[in-house]
């Protein structure tokens, strides 16, 4: 993506200017010869649910659209998503998954039944995007597929037959039906979810009851040798660890590969009045940071349950729904969950990445909600127009961490405090990329005060940090269709001694001699 030269110069110079006396202080120490777990690239997964304008218009416009497309998917959106190296896409939901019957999304599109999307806006669902179209999408992106099966209103037979339809290489009726629908070679599936949010929209179940259902359904999920996807059990949300505890103790470990988890950041911590995406106060900035940083404790608490019940570390902890969730925008369909995306969202994304990296031994996959036009999206569209959000740019900056080897470090940092509560002023990640380079990510959570960071590096010669910075003057600075380049990365360069982080900033840099 092109970067405006004056902005590049301004931030490159600013990184070397003296800090104010009010700057937060942070110190990070590590030995580059030490190694931690690999940061699985699937941590950077995306979520595409049949919700609002996320798939229809956001991704899919149809082959006959005037908007340039390939196999019905927008060329501009596909190109932008390929740029951030999307590794994984979760589909078809979410809550939508447990009312989705796969047969309604195969065969000629003009003969597919039109349903009502009862979860999201009560709108017509044409089923134009079904199994084959979804795999067109992931193959265009060079990504892997995470399919979420219907346990809520489906049957074990329906789920098992869908898996056979997608993966069988035999001359079975189902495999031949797939071939007749245009796909000779079986589809490759990386993950398969057995239901979604079984505690809520997936059936309002108890974890004990869901555990038995999971064992029932999973028993009949079969594929050719070597083609079985990682099986995902539907886990808990927010502070609740009971789902992780019950599932990891009552489902045989040989029957599942990981447990999902969901947590959304609400500025006001109130589902009836979540807070607005723009024009918010400094106290809502802080409460957003305080609530998103709860992810650290929630992940730690769930990982402790896994360590107790799965001491050998077989199970992954999959945060397959996360991100910010705000009040609906005025004059928009509330069930479409469309919201603007500001510098605040960028900081939220980076803070969560640093948490996921810290727990990379268990957090092996996540998917942000959602990819286009829904909640904390990478991209917003308006008919033929497209805009990249601040969150998109964080994903772009952090892509160097995909499959990188984490490096243990210690951090001492001041607190960012507000009205008696506090969070760390600075969070970080350190890793050796697959390219052999040494990378550091730094986030200043404070919207008004800068931070001074000392990097103490052992095991390698390094004197400078060279990379990119994302920041803005206003807390709710955002990219709009009228001003699509208001927030974008700029060049960053600094010595490792008293590295300067402006207020509300994200830096990803290579450490060089």
* Residue among 49, 125, 290, 321 flagged as catalytic: 321
Over residues 71-104, the pLDDT tens digits come to 999 999 999 999 999 999 999 999 999 999 999 9
Beta carbons of 433 and 5 less than 8 angstroms apart:
no
* Domain closes at, from 356, 385, 403: 403
Specify whether 358 is located in the same domain as 296: yes
Beta bridge partners, 431, equal 406, 439
Q: Which of 84, 67, 120, 7 shows the shortest CA–CA distance to 379?
A: 84
The answer to whether residues 422 and 504 belong to one domain is yes
How many domains, in total, are found in the chain?
2
Residue-range definition of the domain harbouring residue 218: 41-403
Do 197 and 107 lie in a common domain?
Answer: yes
Same domain, 354 and 414: no
Note whether 21 and 56 are same-domain residues.
no
The whole-chain average pLDDT of the chain stands at: 95
Measure the CA–CA gap between 228 and 337, rounded to whole angstroms.
Answer: 34
Strand partners, 29: 410, 456
What is the 8-class DSSP label of residue 372?
B
Q: Where are the alpha helices (DSSP H) in 199-342?
A: 207-219, 242-250, 282-292, 294-309
Q: What is the pLDDT of residue 7?
A: 43
Asked if residue 179 and residue 109 are part of one domain, the reply reads yes
Task: Give the per-residue pLDDT at 22.
Answer: 75
Q: What is the pLDDT of residues 249-271, one digit of tens each?
A: 999 999 999 999 999 999 999 99
pLDDT of 4: 38
Catalytic residue among 197, 290, 296, 449: 197
Is-catalytic flag, 321?
A: yes
pLDDT at 344 over 80: yes
Q: Same structural domain for residues 345 and 457?
A: no
CATH of the domain at 313: 3.20.20.80
Same domain? For 31 and 95 the reply is no
List, for residues 177-203, the tens digit of each pLDDT value.
999 999 999 999 999 999 999 999 999
Q: Are 341 and 277 in contact (CB under 8 A)?
A: yes
Average pLDDT for 113-128:
94
pLDDT greater than 90 at residue 3: no
For the segment 399-410, the average pLDDT, to the nearest whole number, is 98
Here the CATH number for the domain that contains residue 479 is 2.60.40.1180
pLDDT at site 368: 98
Last residue of a domain, one of 374, 403, 432: 403
296 flagged as catalytic: no
> H/E/C letters for each residue in 5-21?
HHHHHHHHHHCCCCCCC
> What is the pLDDT at residue 18?
42
Predicted local confidence at residue 161, as pLDDT: 98
Whether residues 420 and 506 share a domain: the answer is yes
């Amino acid at each position: 993506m092109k970067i405006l030269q004056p902005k590049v110069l301004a931030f490159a110079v600013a990184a070397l200017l003296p800090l104010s006396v009010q700057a937060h202080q942070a110190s990070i120490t590590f030995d580059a010869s030490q190694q931690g777990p690999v940061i699985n690239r699937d941590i950077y997964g995306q979520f595409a649910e049949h919700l609002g304008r996320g798939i229809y218009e956001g991704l899919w416009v149809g082959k006959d659209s005037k908007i340039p497309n390939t196999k019905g998917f927008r060329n501009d959106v596909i190109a932008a998503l390929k740029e951030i190296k999307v590794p994984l896409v979760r589909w078809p939901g979410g809550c939508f998954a447990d009312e989705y019957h796969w047969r309604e999304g195969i065969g000629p599109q003009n003969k597919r039944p039109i349903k009502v999307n009862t979860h999201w806006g009560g709108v017509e669902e044409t089923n134009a995007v079904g199994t084959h179209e979804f795999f067109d999408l992931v193959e265009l992106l060079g990504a892997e597929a995470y399919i979420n099966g219907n346990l809520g209103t489906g049957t074990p037979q329906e789920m098992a037959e869908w898996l056979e339809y997608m993966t069988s290489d035999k001359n079975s009726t189902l495999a031949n039906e797939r071939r007749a629908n245009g796909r000779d070679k079986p589809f490759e599936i990386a993950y398969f979810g057995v239901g979604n949010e079984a505690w809520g929209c997936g059936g309002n179940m108890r974890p004990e009851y869901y555990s038995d259902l999971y064992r029932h359904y999973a028993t009949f999920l079969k594929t050719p040798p070597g083609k079985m996807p990682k099986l995902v059990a539907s886990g808990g949300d927010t502070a609740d660890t009971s789902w992780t505890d019950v599932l990891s103790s009552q489902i045989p470990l040989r029957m599942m590969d990981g447990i999902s988890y969901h947590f959304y950041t609400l500025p006001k911590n109130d589902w009836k009045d979540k807070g607005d995406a723009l024009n918010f106060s400094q106290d809502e900035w802080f409460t957003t940071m305080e609530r998103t940083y709860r992810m650290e404790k929630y992940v730690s608490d769930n990982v402790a349950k896994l360590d107790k019940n799965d001491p050998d570390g077989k199970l992954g902890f999959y945060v397959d729904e996360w991100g910010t969730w705000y009040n609906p925008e005025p004059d928009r369909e509330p069930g479409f969950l469309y919201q603007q995306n500001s510098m605040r969202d960028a900081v939220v994304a980076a803070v969560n990445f640093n948490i996921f990296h810290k727990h990379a031994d268990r957090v092996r996959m996540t998917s942000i909600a959602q990819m286009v036009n829904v909640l904390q999206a990478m991209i917003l569209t308006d008919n033929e127009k497209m805009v990249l959000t601040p969150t998109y740019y964080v994903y772009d900056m952090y892509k160097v961490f995909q499959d990188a080897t984490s490096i243990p470090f210690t951090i001492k940092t001041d607190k960012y405090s507000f009205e008696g509560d506090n969070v760390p002023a600075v969070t970080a990640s350190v890793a050796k990329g697959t390219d052999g380079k040494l990378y550091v990510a730094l986030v200043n959570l404070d919207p008004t005060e800068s931070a001074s960071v000392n990097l103490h590096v052992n095991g390698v010669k390094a004197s400078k940090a060279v990379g990119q910075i994302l920041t803005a003057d206003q807390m709710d600075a955002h990219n709009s269709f009228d001003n699509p380049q208001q927030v974008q990365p700029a060049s960053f360069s600094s010595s490792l001694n008293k590295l300067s982080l402006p207020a509300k900033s994200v830096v990803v840099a290579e450490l060089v001699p």
